[in-house]
Amino acid sequence: MIKELPKEQVTLVTQRLKLRPLHMKDVESIVDIHSDKDMALLMSDSIPVPYKTEDAVKFVENSYINYREKENIEFCITLKDENELIGVVGIDINQKDDHVTLGYWLGKAWWGKGYMSEAVSEVVAYCFEELEIHRVASHHFHPNIASGKVMQKAGLKCEGRRKEHYKKGDIFFDIIDYGVVKSEWKKL
pLDDT of 10-63, one tens digit each? 999 999 999 999 999 999 999 999 888 777 666 666 677 788 999 999 999 999
Is residue 73 assigned to a domain? yes
Is residue 42 assigned to a domain? yes
Is residue 162 assigned to a domain? no
Is residue 69 assigned to a domain? yes
Is residue 82 assigned to a domain? yes
Residue range(s) defining the domain that contains residue 39: 12-137
CA–CA dist 188, 182 (Å, integer): 10
- Please state whether the predicted TM-score (pTM) of the whole model is above 0.75: yes
Residue 60 belongs to domain with CATH number:
3.40.630.30
The pLDDT, as a whole number, for residue 42 is 67
The pLDDT, as a whole number, for residue 41 is 66
Q: Report pLDDT digits (tens) over 116-171.
A: 999 999 999 999 999 999 999 999 988 889 999 999 999 999 999 999 998 888 88
Is residue 43 assigned to a domain? yes
Is residue 187 assigned to a domain? no
Counting the structural domains of the chain, the total is: 1
Is residue 153 assigned to a domain? no
The pLDDT, as a whole number, for residue 94 is 95
